[in-house]
Amino acid sequence: MPALPESYLTLARREAAAPQSATVTFPVERPLVMDSGASLKPFTIAYQTYGTLNAEKSNAILVCHALTGDQHVANVHPVTGRDGWWENMVGPGRPIDTDRYFVICSNVIGGCMGTTGPASTDPATGKAYGLDLPMVTIRDMVRAQAMLIDHLGIETLFCVAGGSMGGMQVLQWAASYPNRVFSALPIATAARHSSQNIAFHEVGRQAVMADPDWRGGRYLDETTQPQKGLSVARMAAHITYMSDEALHRKFGRKLQDRSAPTFSFDADFQIESYLRYQGQSFVERFDANSYLYVTRAMDYFDLAADYGGSLAQAFRGSKTRFCVVSFTSDWLFPTSDSRAIVHALNAGGASVSFVEIETDKGHDAFLLDVPEMMATVHGFLNAAARARGIGGAQ
């Protein structure tokens, strides 16, 4: 089997060991105690910050990334060379305005951009953790983030915001640390992963593990990578991020660079070519084992289960201000999921506003320039800033 190009191997090992962002390593004496019962020690968190923390330390916003995101929310990505994944939302003059707020975004535990994950070196063996990394949950991710926030000397976050898996982290933050979250913005998310979504994730994981180059998760040590399996997993997942209307508008049944079908299994249709491109570009920036771990963390997420089956109990007496956002064409995390969160917040006596945005862009709408979402986030944060006495409110 030919060795992988140096570019991937360099990326996987460099970003796991020496990421191009700030890091903090917590020593053995400060382990991350995980839901599985394991303790991760030592462990590292890689993160980015934008803007300036004010003297009162009251203007910090934690942005939580989605499944395949990372800490590079509003800067050029050091690997892909592309803009940050939420640059339309975060930056000077943007709804999450870095001229007013101090924005923090960290790579989650189990990730592959510098925070401890399966591509990181296991101090016990000197090799990549691979599947020896303890299983990760959303609550583990949030515990690690809380340790980072402590390290930065911030007692209370002005806001925690994120979409999809990031929204799950927002809800976990509000439940686990209600006195540390002034406001919360869960977007296009749910309080538990549905059986349908678990099923989609399992298809992706099986694609990765069926690739002969996965090598039982030891591919980095053997200079291989399950590129085909991970690419297929990404292709399948990407379909769920878009709506049927958006796919039809963008691609329809148009052929790719040809006037007639080839009567073969080549990529005759534009949508086929598009999905193949998405799969191939993904394997150049993401670790296959991280994909297994992070999808599994989403599958395990069921916030109500931690509170006797009552989601309202997770938010009982919360003083956090919430703004819940959903999109009409999102069938991965439909509006009914957001309404369940809103009903629980109301039952728990929390302050909550809810906006369902009309769009045909599907789940990915939270990443795109959707004017109503931008206006909603700006208005919510502006009102919260006034309530907290943060200057510059408009």
Residue 273 annotated in active site? no
Residue 248 annotated in active site? no
Residue 193 annotated in active site? no
Residues with pLDDT less than 70, the chain:
1-13, 392-394
Tell me the C-alpha distance between 73 and 108, whole Å: 13
- The alpha carbon of residue 65 and the mean position of all alpha carbons in its chain are separated, in whole angstroms, by 3
Of the residues 65, 193, 201, 363, which is catalytic? 363
Question: Structure tokens of 91?
Answer: 């930056």
Of the residues 211, 268, 330, 364, which is catalytic? 330
The 3-state secondary structure of 33-95 reads ECCCCCEECCEEEEEEEECCCCCCCCCEEEEECCCCCCCCCCCCCCCCCCCCCCCCCEECCCC
Tell me the C-alpha distance between 378 and 264, whole Å: 50
Contacting residues for 202 by C-beta, under 8 A, at least 6 apart: none
Per-residue pLDDT at 26: 98
| Helices 288-300 and 165-176, axial angle in degrees (round to 10) | 50
Place of tokens 């538990």: 192
Listing DSSP states for 109-128 in one string gives: TT-SSSSS-TTSBPTTTSSB
157 and 180 in contact (C-beta within 8 Å)?
A: yes
Of the residues 21, 58, 106, 164, which is catalytic? 164
Phi/psi class of residue 103: alpha, beta or left (left: φ > 0; alpha: ψ in -120 to 50)?
A: beta
Over residues 302-350, the pLDDT tens digits come to 999 999 999 999 999 999 999 999 999 999 999 999 999 999 999 999 9
Per-residue pLDDT at 4: 47
Closest of 40, 39, 8, 19 to residue 280, by C-alpha: 8
Per-residue pLDDT at 193: 96
* Host H or E run for residue 353: strand 351-357
CA quadruple 273, 75, 327, 369: dihedral, nearest 10: -80
Do the strands 22-26 and 43-50 form a parallel or antiparallel pair, or are they unpaired? antiparallel
DSSP alpha helices (H): ranges in 103-226?
Answer: 138-151, 165-176, 195-210
Tell me the C-alpha distance between 316 and 184, whole Å: 15
Over residues 339-371, the pLDDT tens digits come to 999 999 999 999 999 999 999 999 999 999 999
Does this model's pTM top 0.85? My answer is yes
Tell me the C-alpha distance between 314 and 176, whole Å: 8
* Host H or E run for residue 290: helix 288-300
* Cα-trace Rg, the chain: 21
Per-residue pLDDT at 1: 37
Place of tokens 């990578």: 225
Contacting residues for 140 by C-beta, under 8 A, at least 6 apart: 32, 34, 35, 109, 297
Tell me the C-alpha distance between 58 and 119, whole Å: 35
